[in-house]
Structure 1
Amino acid sequence: MKNLFASLPALLLLAGGAQAAAEKAAPQQKWESVKLGGGGGFVPGIVFHPKTAGVAYARTDIGGLYRLNPADDSWTAVTDAIADNAGWHNWGVDALAVDPTDDGKVFAAFGLYTNDWDPTNGQIGRSADRGETWEFADLPFKVGGNMPGRGMGERLAVDPANPKILYFGARSGNGLWKSTDGGATFAKVDSFKAVGTYAPVPGDTTGLNSDIQGLTFVTFDTTSPKADGGATSRIFVGTADNKTASLYVTEDAGATWAAIKGQPKKFFPHKGKLSAAEKALYISYADGSGPYDGTDGAVYRYDIERGAFTDITPSIGEKIAFGFGGLALDAQKPGTVVVSSLNSWYPDQHIFRSTDSGKTWSRLWEWANYPEMNLRYKQNVDKAPWIGPGFLDNDTKHLGWMIECLEIDPHDSDHWLYGTGLTLYGGHDLTKWDANSWDEKLTISALADGIEETSVQDVASIPGGTELLAATGDVSGFTFKSAETLGEAPKKNWYDPHWTTNAGVDFAGAAGKNVVRIGNSAGSKQLALSSDGGDTWAEHPGADTKAAGGIVAMSADGETIVWSASPGGVLRSQGGKEAFKAVFSLPEGAIVASDKQNATVFYGASGGKFYVSTDAGVTFKVAAGELKGAKNMVDVAAHPVKAGDVWVSTDAGVFHSTNYGATFAATSTALKNTQQVALGVGSAKDSWNVYAFGEGAAGARLYGSADGGKTWVDIQGDKQGFGTTSTGKLAGSGNVAGLVYVGTNGRGVFRATVSLGGEKPGARRLSRRARA
């Protein structure tokens, strides 16, 4: 995606390129999230500590691991520092466990994909200080935190009788693995032969859906006697296998294993929870591995002493068309069970509660006079107000979708949480349900404050106007009008039109209230305009239904749009209404950008060529300026208040032109293989900082320069990860000195006010008035 930001008007590097410059020492920067407050993505797992109240963790598929702050229901990210700058490998969490004997210890299985999208093998991370620091055990295979079946589990468990022992159920046919040294090392359990057989789409050539799901959960039976060495003797393991058997048990601490007799074979077990007081195992089943599939399922109770299964599937009075995922037991009230549908797409998810071990159930909602519904709940989204107009007001699925994790706090029967594909819901009055009255409503609240797991597609900051525009995956996008609002959850997301994913956003440099954004789903018009800085939007009448995604650029006066769509090729429209027409002088897939002060000028880049249009995007020509040694151009940023000033990020570093690309000068050779480049207001009067992802003295990092690229400062530091530099989105503030934004693929937008020298950062250098 293209980020259109500022350039540097002073401290220019002129003819002949720049000499390599020593990099300055990295300052200590404080990075924090731009607040959405509602998560914005899938939460497939939650684990409460069984012995210590207030200790709980939530895992996400692409946004890392979070620790609960019980005083205010907020969450703290605990895996930012371990995100690999060459990827976002450690933000994929496929399994989670705590040590029942030590409330400081937490374990997680890290890795994003088992196919070649993630080149790195998985790891089991262990922390003794509630996630503040981590150590790792390398695995000889991959882990899939964002693979199908990621809501099953938990696949990782600590033996409550001997916490030196951990088991991990792997994917991809790798079977069961065991640690006997507290998670420092793992070895395969050769006595466990089952590996799972189910792959959602065996013929999928990408490897995403053709990989077998493997093992689904590991559950220790605390009621069983201890074996030699103090280990728990009875352990249950679930597998994604509906052909032979899916539920296995050992009675001798893992020496031998057997399929449990009489088990249902039609479905795959998603959750297996032990009720120690009842000596029973509860299992939720679905005919898909989730989180998107599943059209049938069941809930069973296994009486351990009798060795007997009982079908306790809740009824909705008709044939169910969904599987079951979420399953919670109330440790304070044995026999109290809550289960959820995995995917009920209309009109909503189903959540059921039983207080008699599944003999009878009550529903959270039921039909009244269709289409009216009786509800046992009311909703509160104060922590993320945008969920209201963006989703609840426009969708029947108020309870969410993809419910795989559902937990009741083992220390508080009223406190419950469940994860969805949008946010984390829950509350503190669950037992109101037991009044069995449609008038006595419990409150379900959005409780994802602190969980930021959006995939950010583009970011921009308008000098004298809107402080931050963030285009996101899954939840559309957001407008933050001023820097003061960055710590407040927005009241609304981008809608009218609403697209699940917005691929890009741009603004008119000389008329900053004019903004354009593009969606990513062909089949409907995917371009919208705003004339109030991104507060309200209108569909562009000239867009067709075929073009989508890519990169968009708006002319300085807001009259012309050049759109490098994917699919759709390079397109152009003028006047806000004109139908888009093909631009044949730029290659398909080219980067496009607009000069922010000269409305007749647009820039383009493809491969090793830089292009300029002087007729408002009608035609493009290869620029005269040479970017020596550059074979691949990655990003183009035009100065927001100076015409003809443009920066280009390439595999050979960052280049700068002050004359519309007629000549280019290279910045310091200390920074190579650069990715996104952006500019923002600097500390000195009328100065602009330049920021870039690239490879410098500190490695692949985010760097900043206050001297036109002569020297580069590591502004990322060792304590903040952004994931892979190639997908990081970048914007410097057009209004606040030293303020810089990083959009990530999974952890939302980060911000920091950085010091690159000169006066104290943070002072405003431009007025809030948008340019006319």
Structure 2
Amino acid sequence: MARPRSQPRLASLASLAVTAALLLAASHAETASYPYQFSHVAVTGGGYITGLVGHPTEANLLYARTDIGGAYRWSEPDNKWIALTDFVSQADSNLLGTEAIALDPTDPARVYLAQGRYLASNASAFFASADRGASFAVHPAPFPMGSNELGRNNGERLAVNPFAAHQLWFGSRTQGLWRSDDYAATWTNVTTLPDAFANTMGIYFVLFDAARNGTVYLGGSTPGGLYVSHDGGASWAALPGQPTAWDSATLAAGHPPYSDGPQPMKAVLAPDGNTLYVTYADYPGPYGAQYGYVYKYATRGRTNSSSSSSSSSSSSPPPLWTNITPGTNNNSFPPPYEPQAFPGGGFCGISLDLSDPTGQTLVVTSLDRDPGPALDSLYLSRDGGATWTDIAQLSSPSGTGGYWGHPIAQAKLANGTAVPWLSFDWGDEWGGYGAPSPIYGLAKFGWWMTALLMDPSRPGHVLYGTGATIWATDNIFAAAAAATTTQSVAWYIQAQGIEETYVETMISPSSGPAHLLSGFGDINGMRHDDLFVPQPMFALPAFSNLDSMDWAGQLPSLVARVGDCGLNFSVYGACGQGAYSTDSGANWTMFAHCAPGINETTTDDGVIVIDAAGDVFVWSTLLAQQANGPWASVDGGATWAAPAGDLTAQTAFLAADKVQPATFYACESGTVYVSTDGGQSYNATPPASSGLPAGLQCATPVVNFHKAGELWLALGARGLYHSDDFGSTWTEVAPGLQANYFSVGKAAPARRDETAVALFLWGTVASAGPHAVDGLYRSDDGGATWTRVNDDAHQYGGPNLILGDPRVYGRVYIGTAGRGIVFGDIAGPASASGSVANVAGTQGI
């Protein structure tokens, strides 16, 4: 929902009283300390939702997990997802990824998170909460986790014993099965299973039978990987008769499956414990699955059958195993689209209607039917899989030719707020795993649709996650399968509050319609005309990763960007990896040619900067084989020239002066270089004669957007250095600074020097006394004094970069590696009313 326009906006002037207070405070203290309010720049999703879980007894208590952005709890009163893991520090950034979620079915207040992004890191932990995630006890785990590794789509690996709530079990990736008997504080390895799971995927799920004490099921990442224990884990046995081989009739000629047999991915138990439903694929996922099945197992059955029928006479038990895969034996409606292109995909997502005492109402999703046709589908069954309704097909407009999708008009929150970037500009398939729909006007129904939930308190409310967002409906049962009649399902976006983008670059021009332009991994970038409302994606060319942006200091409407898209645009006589805009990013023109070496095969397309007058583009390709400095163009990218002089490498540390034309700065191998002739040549100033410490690790020079030749270098533990003579000489700003990230913004109101700026630093400040901890700091007096801006609850796993706003005093943007873009404003009337609670929300400190 758009903000009421009668309320003041964050970028507007504060009240006279607040302005007077700022002036008074700034005049009596070098750097005034103010309370800050943190908000998210609204994208709404932007990353892979790996899991959704709901509490079986408490209404509206839902949780979501993501691969790199932590976990969230749905807040019905706030109508948004609440982030639970923003307290994770930069030092513990590997913990900002959720491998699994477990809820205590006997106590709705208890929630457990298994945290750890990568197996190569030695940092993983269990987060245990007794207050729905408002606070956590953090318990280090004795094994690695991998929320952003292969197989992250499966699960849940973590489960609470419903008959002994203090006991949790976890299926690890590399070290078997573990059990905790003290609410996840300590863990013991209890596996007696074969070492078939030592493939970095391990045990995908642990599933307790809530109807029978002592019965537990495990699903391992191998054919025949289903095990059961009926004595609380003292002994285990493989489930008899489980599918261990592929039916040759389901395989495509010339395309052998990746595994010798179906691998279990996810499973659910009927409420009475009598039926186990399992999805299968030939590859761990979330990408690469070619084949798959859906089966159900009669846990109290006595016979074995591959029949697709789910019914049996009252005098005989049901078959032990039943193949209920949608689309087989004409059991789905509408019928499967023909011809189904390879791959047909696997199956992964699955969820049950817990209010159905028969345990026969469920939904499943296919996995990796890409590039289509037909694409992935969501299926509904009300008879235990005997028949299915193809919800994706029914939800798509006619004539899509199997490319299922939502009309872009449905890409809105339930209150009508649009999420326009989900169109992906209908570009050609790119590195974002085929995210754009090939059908103009449709948002792709989904890909990586592995997070799937029938709301336990409202079964008609079904949510599914994708590689980008969460879709939901309140009337899944409207699509009742019948011989000739169906009713369409109404869909909307339910991802408000989830911000999972990986931020690659940001710029904040000194004027123009937007205070912020962003560049993301996977989803290109956006011009944020309104920080609280999702915006359209940049127009074509679309980049799967937008690597770098810049704006011309004296012509702020001129911006440029470079990134990778995996497409060859040479047939159009243009460079698809670089573009510029003369209207602040509303429209884009591709460079006539890319800088040498940049093409559809390059996956990191370097750094782009623009001189202050907007006459010269300089592009550093980062290609190690190029023994020359960054390429310069004075004709809009028609030609690119290598510079003369001292700089002989494609440096990552490049900046343009925002005041003096034709002036560029670079840092490479511990030396600062300056060009004053439009990038035609660079001259070096050796550290020994400049005042910089010897052997420094380079950083990008940060320029003053008001004053030519004023620069800062943030050198991590070596400190923060300042130059006001175009990099000829440098002085340390203050002792005891650890400057990991640095930026400048609008000066405090009391600063009368028109060239003054506020300084922002992420790191540590020794002079802060008890606040000398890793965090975000601001200085209003050139670095003589500092005040901490954030607190321990607002760390977001640390930044990829920070950026001051040249137009709003005190505002700073934090670009994260999985929690999107956060911006902090000095709290007060100018910022307190500037949020849409059900889109982005705010957090005051």
TM-score range, shorter chain: 0.7 to 0.9
1:742 paired with 2:788, answer no
Pick closer, same or farther for the CA change 1:102–1:369 going to 2, 3 Å. Answer: closer
Counterparts of 1:217-616 in structure 2 under 5 Å?
A: 217-224=205-212, 232-242=213-223, 245-265=224-244, 266-277=261-272, 279-306=274-301, 308-315=320-327, 316=336, 321-333=344-356, 334-345=359-370, 346-347=372-373, 348-366=375-393, 372=401, 380-383=410-413, 384-390=418-424, 394-396=436-438, 398-434=444-480, 436=482, 440-465=487-512, 466-481=514-529, 485-490=530-535, 492-521=536-565, 524=568, 525-543=576-594, 545-546=598-599, 548-567=604-623, 570-583=630-643, 585-616=647-678
Residues in 2 aligned to 1:590 and 1:278: alpha-carbon distance in whole angstroms: 58
Pick closer, same or farther for the CA change 1:374–1:633 going to 2, 3 Å. Answer: closer
The structural deviation recorded for 1:724 is: 3.9
Residues in 1 aligned to 2:164 and 2:89: alpha-carbon distance in whole angstroms: 32
Unmatched runs of 5 consecutive residues or more in structure 2? 1-28, 245-260, 303-319, 328-335, 428-435, 569-575, 767-771, 833-845
Residues in 2 aligned to 1:435 and 1:522: alpha-carbon distance in whole angstroms: 41
Q: Identity across aligned pairs (percent)?
A: 31
The structural deviation recorded for 1:123 is: 0.9
SS of structure 2 residue aligned to 1:58: strand
Between 49-58 and 562-571, the greater mean CA deviation after superposition: 562-571
Residue type of the alignment partner of 1:222: A
Cα contact 1:28–1:717 (8 A) shared by 2: no
SS of structure 2 residue aligned to 1:515: strand
Residues in 1 aligned to 2:169 and 2:231: alpha-carbon distance in whole angstroms: 15
Cα contact 1:376–1:441 (8 A) shared by 2: no
SS of structure 1 residue aligned to 2:132: coil
Pick closer, same or farther for the CA change 1:237–1:760 going to 2, 3 Å. Answer: closer
User: 1:208 aligns to what?
Assistant: none
Residues in 2 aligned to 1:761 and 1:601: alpha-carbon distance in whole angstroms: 37
Residues in 1 aligned to 2:542 and 2:155: alpha-carbon distance in whole angstroms: 34
Cα contact 1:374–1:438 (8 A) shared by 2: no
User: 1:5 aligns to what?
Assistant: none
Give the one of 27, 30, 33 matched to 2:37: 30
SS of structure 2 residue aligned to 1:674: strand
User: 1:19 aligns to what?
Assistant: none
Pick closer, same or farther for the CA change 1:731–1:381 going to 2, 3 Å. Answer: same
Cα contact 2:203–2:220 (8 A) shared by 1: yes
The structural deviation recorded for 1:573 is: 1.2
Pick closer, same or farther for the CA change 1:739–1:554 going to 2, 3 Å. Answer: same
Residues in 1 aligned to 2:125 and 2:782: alpha-carbon distance in whole angstroms: 41
Q: Give per-residue Cα distances to partners, 1:505-557, cap 9 Å, x unaligned.
A: 11000000000111134654311101111122121113154365222211101
Residues in 2 aligned to 1:318 and 1:260: alpha-carbon distance in whole angstroms: 35
Cα contact 2:404–2:445 (8 A) shared by 1: no
Residues in 1 aligned to 2:117 and 2:699: alpha-carbon distance in whole angstroms: 25
Q: Give per-residue Cα distances to partners, 1:344-378, cap 9 Å, x unaligned.
A: 11132112111110111121245999754597976
Cα contact 1:586–1:620 (8 A) shared by 2: no
The structural deviation recorded for 1:650 is: 1.4
Counterparts of 1:153-164 in structure 2 under 5 Å?
A: 153-164=155-166
Residue type of the alignment partner of 2:639: A
Unmatched runs of 5 consecutive residues or more in structure 1? 1-21, 200-211, 225-231, 764-772
Residue type of the alignment partner of 1:32: S
Q: Give per-residue Cα distances to partners, 1:283-319, cap 9 Å, x unaligned.
A: 0000010011110010010101115111111113777
Residues in 2 aligned to 1:513 and 1:197: alpha-carbon distance in whole angstroms: 55
Cα contact 1:636–1:677 (8 A) shared by 2: no
Residue type of the alignment partner of 1:526: Q
User: 2:148 aligns to what?
Assistant: 146
Q: Give per-residue Cα distances to partners, 1:580-623, cap 9 Å, x unaligned.
A: 23346342234110000111210000131111001011111113
The structural deviation recorded for 1:655 is: 1.2
Residue type of the alignment partner of 2:321: F
Residues in 1 aligned to 2:185 and 2:112: alpha-carbon distance in whole angstroms: 11
SS of structure 2 residue aligned to 1:431: helix
Cα contact 2:326–2:379 (8 A) shared by 1: yes
SS of structure 2 residue aligned to 1:97: strand
Cα contact 1:680–1:689 (8 A) shared by 2: yes
The structural deviation recorded for 1:657 is: 1.3
User: Whose RCO is larger (CA < 8 A, sep 6+)?
Assistant: 1
The structural deviation recorded for 1:441 is: 1.1
Residues in 1 aligned to 2:722 and 2:826: alpha-carbon distance in whole angstroms: 22
The structural deviation recorded for 1:105 is: 0.9
Cα contact 2:405–2:445 (8 A) shared by 1: no
Residues in 1 aligned to 2:208 and 2:63: alpha-carbon distance in whole angstroms: 19
The structural deviation recorded for 1:23 is: 12
Residues in 2 aligned to 1:680 and 1:630: alpha-carbon distance in whole angstroms: 32
Cα contact 1:302–1:309 (8 A) shared by 2: yes
Residue type of the alignment partner of 2:218: V
Q: Give per-residue Cα distances to partners, 1:116-168, cap 9 Å, x unaligned.
A: xx3x3311111111111111222122111111100110000111121111100
Cα contact 1:433–1:442 (8 A) shared by 2: yes
User: 1:649 aligns to what?
Assistant: 714
Pick closer, same or farther for the CA change 1:516–1:87 going to 2, 3 Å. Answer: farther
Cα contact 1:111–1:122 (8 A) shared by 2: yes
Q: Give per-residue Cα distances to partners, 1:417-463, cap 9 Å, x unaligned.
A: 11111111111111111164676211122211110000000111111
User: 1:166 aligns to what?
Assistant: 168
Residue type of the alignment partner of 2:36: Q
Residue type of the alignment partner of 1:189: V
1:114 paired with 2:119, answer yes
Residue type of the alignment partner of 1:696: V
Between 322-331 and 643-652, the greater mean CA deviation after superposition: 643-652
Residues in 2 aligned to 1:143 and 1:159: alpha-carbon distance in whole angstroms: 21
SS of structure 2 residue aligned to 1:387: helix
Residues in 2 aligned to 1:332 and 1:474: alpha-carbon distance in whole angstroms: 38
User: 1:213 aligns to what?
Assistant: 201
Residues in 2 aligned to 1:185 and 1:67: alpha-carbon distance in whole angstroms: 25
The structural deviation recorded for 1:712 is: 2.3
Residue type of the alignment partner of 2:545: T
Superposition RMSD in Å: 2.6
TM-score, normalised with respect to structure 2: 0.79
User: 1:103 aligns to what?
Assistant: 108
Q: Give per-residue Cα distances to partners, 1:95-131, cap 9 Å, x unaligned.
A: 011111111111010001002xx3x331111111111
Residues in 1 aligned to 2:801 and 2:821: alpha-carbon distance in whole angstroms: 9
Residues in 1 aligned to 2:281 and 2:747: alpha-carbon distance in whole angstroms: 54
SS of structure 1 residue aligned to 2:478: helix
Cα contact 2:743–2:804 (8 A) shared by 1: no
SS of structure 1 residue aligned to 2:556: coil
Pick closer, same or farther for the CA change 1:144–1:683 going to 2, 3 Å. Answer: farther
Residue type of the alignment partner of 2:242: Q
